[in-house]
Chains A and B, each alone.
Chain A
Amino acid sequence: MVSVEDDPTKVDVAPWGKWLPVCAFEEPGKQVPCILDPLKGAFARQRMPQSRIRPENPSARSAATLRRAVVVLVDDRADNLTALEGALGNLDATLVRARSGEEALGRLLDEECACILLDVRMPGMDGFETAGLIRARQATRHVPIIFVTGFDPNREETAKAYALGAVDFVCKPVNPDALRAKVGVFVDLFYQAREARVSRIRYDTLSEIAPVGIFHTDPGGDCLWVNDRWCEITGLTPEQASGKGWAKALHPEDRPRVFDEWYLAARKDEPFRSEYRFVRPDGRETWVLGQAKAERDHVGRATGFVGTITDITDRRQAEKVTRDAKENLELQVAERTRELARSEEHHRLILQGSLDAVITMDERGLISSWSGQAEGMFGWREAEVLGRALEEILIPPRYREAHRRGMERFRSTGEGPILGKRVELTALRRDGSEFPVELSVTPLRSEGATTFSAFVRDLSERHRAEAVSERLAAVVRSSEDAVLTMDPQGTITTWNEGAERIYGYSSRDAIGKPVELIVPEQLRGEERELLAKVARGERVESYETVRCRKDGTSLDVSVSMSPLRDHEGRIVGASKIGRDITERKRAQERTRFLAHAAEILSASLDYERTVSQVADFAARSPLSDWCAVVLKEGDSVRQVAVAHRDPAKVEWAREFERRYPFDPAREKIVMDVVETGRPALFAEIPDALLRAGARDEDHYHAMKDAGMKSAMVVPLSAAGRVIGALTLVSAESRRTYTPEDLSLAESLAERAAIAFENARLYRAAQEDIARRRAVEEEIRALNVTLERRVQERTAKLSEALHELEAFSYTVAHDLRAPLRSMAGLSRILMEDHIGTADAEGQEYARRIVESGKRMDTMVQDLLEYSRIAREDLQLEDVDLGPLIREILAGLEADLAERGASVTVRDPLLVVVAHRSTLTQAVTNLIQNAAKFVLPGTRPEIIIGTESKGGVVVLSIEDRGIGIAPEHHERIFGVFQRLHDERAYPGTGIGLAIVRKAMERMGGRAGVESQPGKGSRFWLEFKQGGQG
């Protein structure tokens, strides 16, 4: 609620304010008329008489209005009654006598009775009967009955009494205190019941007449009872309201809120209080203020709610009106306030805007007033300057004289040079520094005296800004780049010197013209796009494009554009900076040219190709139209390539070549370059040169027709030697060669020379390689032939070997069979046909057999020899120790028979041999050693090994007959015998086999012997056990 001022007379009403009569609310339900003071935002209460309300105190019992409780005493004997009266005297009740049951009944009908004391024994109706009747009557049936009796009631009577509804049975003599207490209880009960009844009635009555709706609900919120007014307010009938019917009638928007608040209030045990709407059955809305409180029982449990609803529709309506009015007023207030603020601001600005110092000076030239601004501007405080001479304070010394003179003039003529005008001067600060000011001085005449009033403005800022601006302009002016500005339509608004220089248009020519002036036709679309971009606020950075000059030539430029904005940030045009990048582009081109050349040069190592490709490249490039390469070859110089971008011309050139071949003697210029290594440049090919170079008239004219304009000849040098020259000629392109072009040509030549050299070296290397390859080929071919021959020979040998094998095989069988037959048949002859008496016959037959045997032996020996000679022996390590022992064991019988003694010199070494063949050879030797002894002599054999420089020598010594030196070789031959068969039998193949065997095993065999001194046969083997 708004605060309420009690005293309306204290209200401050603004001159333009209004008194607005309105209703404010001090409390709910209490409307208080007020006035509204918009300025203060307060309500001031109008004085109204207060109504007096008499508070009610419901707890006090009003004795005047309510009757006392009645206690009826019934006894036929008066003395008893008296006694009872005495006992019950000071009860807050009226005691009524009755002498009989009938009288008692009568009394009860008249009065409301709190309690009745009945005597049991009475004549006529006794107590029980009376009680029965009391109980029978509706009006009295609840009256508490106490029987009073003089005699001891027996159980039967007591029971009867209680059955009749008595509450107690008292015996005479009565105990007064006890009786009083009992009756007192019933009296109190009576009063309480009556009170409750009265309350109830009052309540109901109130409810009837109350202007508010009253309702009761159970603890769960179900409506139990509503009064009529409630129904009027809500438009519901009690039936409709019962249960949760009332809730259904709540406005849907308010219903949740109501429940929440009700629930919250119940939980906090606070009264519920809320404003909400009921929706009447006819749809109208009624605003109510609802209040409710929980009814609690004696332990505090909520037994239900009781509450009221007050129709506040009218009030709310009024509230709305007020609110609207208030809002309206507030708006107005805000508006006024704004206006005021604006004007205040305005004033302030004005005041401020006389940031101007305001100074007044009197006729004498003394300062008479000094504004706050002046203090800040000059650094003097008012107190310090008042009354002092202005010129001393403000004017730099050098101008003081002028000031004085001006003052003089004014004094005499009434005019002053600076009066009434705005002038710029230099002023002096307190600290001695000077600064520019703008001055406006007005003379004020009053009362015969003149005061000069001056407004002084500090121009330092402005001057600074101007200076900066001037500097910037100077920068733009002096910039080498073209700097120009345009309006949003693209019309040129400024044009600097750089632009004049670069584009050729003067600023007069350019300003006001569209920027298309300098944009080539085909790029106009692009320019428009750029402008659009800038108009959107974007920048264009370093955009490379082409512009055209006044003279029509085009140039490459790099352009940057940015939007021009006003102080509010709106785009009002564009600025453009253009830089001539022709030179840069040219440099780029040169680099590209050389890079491309390098590519071509490195593409191939083929000599011819490289040269012609380079010439081609140069001829097709912008650098030249013709390109020719001459290279040293041995002692002479040869034109290796000539190129032109037009193949037809090349053909012409070749033809030309053929007719006038390159003649070093005549090509003086080229040869000069080749010899000296110095380049030659002819920006213009003079006619004289053509003449000098021409062999004949035709030649001259041909060269002239070719239209050669400019030429360069640069040396090709690699590794310090000049290997040739590169000639570049411009013709159709009309290009004039500059020293720059020459340096480019030299760069090209440098690279080309290296490439040519490399190609040449490569070719030489290739040739070497080719030569070497040819030789290798030859060798390979030879090897193949050799291989084949060897194979053939081996095949033949193999064949021969096989034949030999087959031959041996055949021999083995076929030669021996007849021998066998011979021997066998001779035996048959001997045994069966030649008589034992025929000694000769027997002898001859025996000899046949012997011969046969002998021949068979020889054949076998031969077979053996040939086998050893041809068989492939697998060599292995053979330990001689065990081998010799094996052999000796095998020959044991024979050796024993001859009585031979064998000594083995251990340890015997390991040799590389073929085991069985070795066995055979050694067996032979041992047998020989045992055989070739003088008859009757016991053979002595000594076997040993020794190692000699990688070979092992096995020696078999004997003390036999020995062998003469001249026979040492012979004995190793086939079938070579030195002795008679009869003396020493044997075919003579043994040693041949030994030697052959040794040969096959990669060793040697030999003998040391002297006749009669025994022999030492040695076998030389590769040392075994070497791994």
Chain B
Amino acid sequence: MTRAKATILHVEDDPNDRLFVERAFKKAGVPVELCAVATGEEAVNYLSAEGPFADRKRFPAPAFILLDLKLTGMSGFDILEWARRQRASKLLPIAVLTSSREGTDVKRAYEAGATTYFVKPADTDDLHALIKTLAGYWFVHAKLPPSATVGA
């Protein structure tokens, strides 16, 4: 039986990085839908099924969040903290994918409730390997928590 495709919400402001991650997931060949938003506000709206993302048919509730820390407006930390307060996203696996390797950021992310912390590799090959591992771990081997929509 084919599993319904899981939706990953990718929160990333840099369009190049969005592109690279997209390609990486394609290459990984894992049955996931990648849905990208550029700002923290958009992420909140998506998770709340509000605004432009109200239509859950078009924008299914995510089973996983890939989160950059360095965003304009709301920071990744803010989103992390917010998401952990919502019933819908409390249990969601949230992986931080960010350029900072600062220990303080790592600590803070985990304290805010991040599931995993990844540093964006500079090398494309490294990125592919990361995504492949991640996808395989979470969407092939692991059991994801049931997703729910806030307000649904």
Contacts and interface: CB of A to CB of B under 8 A. Distances in A.
A605 interface: no
Contact of B122 (A812, A813, A825, A853): A853
B23 A820 contact: no
A577 to B, nearest CB: 110
B23 A817 contact: no
B108 to A, nearest CB: 13
B4 interface: no
Contacts of A828: 19-20, 23, 124
Contacts of A827: 124
Given A817-B14, A828-B19, A809 B102 contact: yes
B100 interface: yes
Interface in B102-146: 102, 120, 122-124, 127
B10 interface: no
A824 interface: yes
B17 interface: yes
Interface of A: 809, 812-813, 816-817, 819-821, 823-825, 827-828, 849, 852-853, 856
B99 A813 contact: yes
Contact of A824 (B16, B70, B100, B102): B16
B124 A817 contact: no
Interface string B69-110: 010000000000000000000000000000111100000000
Nearest to A822: B16
Contacts of A824: 16-17, 19-20, 124, 127
Nearest to B99: A813
Nearest to B27: A831
Given A823-B123, A856-B122, A813 B70 contact: yes
A543 B99 CA distance: 114
B123 A817 contact: no
Contact of A823 (B19, B23, B101, B124): B124
A816 B70 CA distance: 13
Contacts of B127: 824
Contacts of B102: 809, 812
Contacts of A813: 70, 99-100
- The dominant DSSP class at the B interface is loop
A820 B16 contact: yes
10 contacts: A809-B100, A812-B99, A812-B100, A813-B99, A820-B16, A820-B20, A823-B122, A824-B17, A824-B19, A853-B123
A809 B70 CA distance: 11
Q: Indicate the member of B70, B124, B127 with the most A CB atoms within 10 Å.
A: B124
B20 A817 contact: no
Given A824-B127, A828-B23, A816 B122 contact: yes
Interface in B6-25: 14, 16-17, 19-20, 23
Contacts, number: 45
A813 to B, nearest CB: 5
A330 to B, nearest CB: 135
Closest 4 CB pairs of A and B: A821-B16, A827-B124, A824-B20, A856-B122
A816 B124 contact: no
Contact of B17 (A809, A821, A853, A856): A821
A640 B20 CA distance: 103
Nearest to B98: A813
Contacts of B14: 817, 821
A820 B120 contact: yes
B19 A820 contact: no
Nearest to B128: A827
A856 B99 CA distance: 12
A820 B125 CA distance: 12
B19 A817 contact: no
A853 B124 CA distance: 10
B142 to A, nearest CB: 27
Contacts of A821: 14, 16-17
A162 B75 CA distance: 158
B70 A825 contact: no
Contacts of B123: 823, 853
Contacts of A823: 122-124
Q: Which of A819, A824, A852, A853 has the most CB of B within 10 A?
A: A824
A816 B101 CA distance: 12
A819 B20 CA distance: 13
A820 B16 CA distance: 9
B122 A852 contact: yes
Nearest to B105: A809
A1018 B145 CA distance: 56
Nearest to A808: B102
Contacts of A816: 99, 122
A813 B99 CA distance: 6
A825 B15 CA distance: 11
Nearest to A809: B102
A853 B101 CA distance: 17
Nearest to B101: A812
A572 B152 CA distance: 137
B14 to A, nearest CB: 6
A816 B102 CA distance: 14
Nearest to A849: B124
Nearest to A818: B16
A136 B122 CA distance: 176
A816 B122 CA distance: 8
A824 B99 CA distance: 14
A820 B12 CA distance: 14
A804 to B, nearest CB: 14
Contacts of A819: 122
Nearest to B16: A821
A817 B123 CA distance: 12
Contacts of A812: 99-102
B121 to A, nearest CB: 8
A444 B40 CA distance: 175
Contacts of A852: 122
Contacts of B124: 823-824, 827-828, 849
Given A821-B17, A823-B124, 6 more contacts: A812-B102, A813-B99, A820-B17, A824-B19, A828-B20, A828-B23
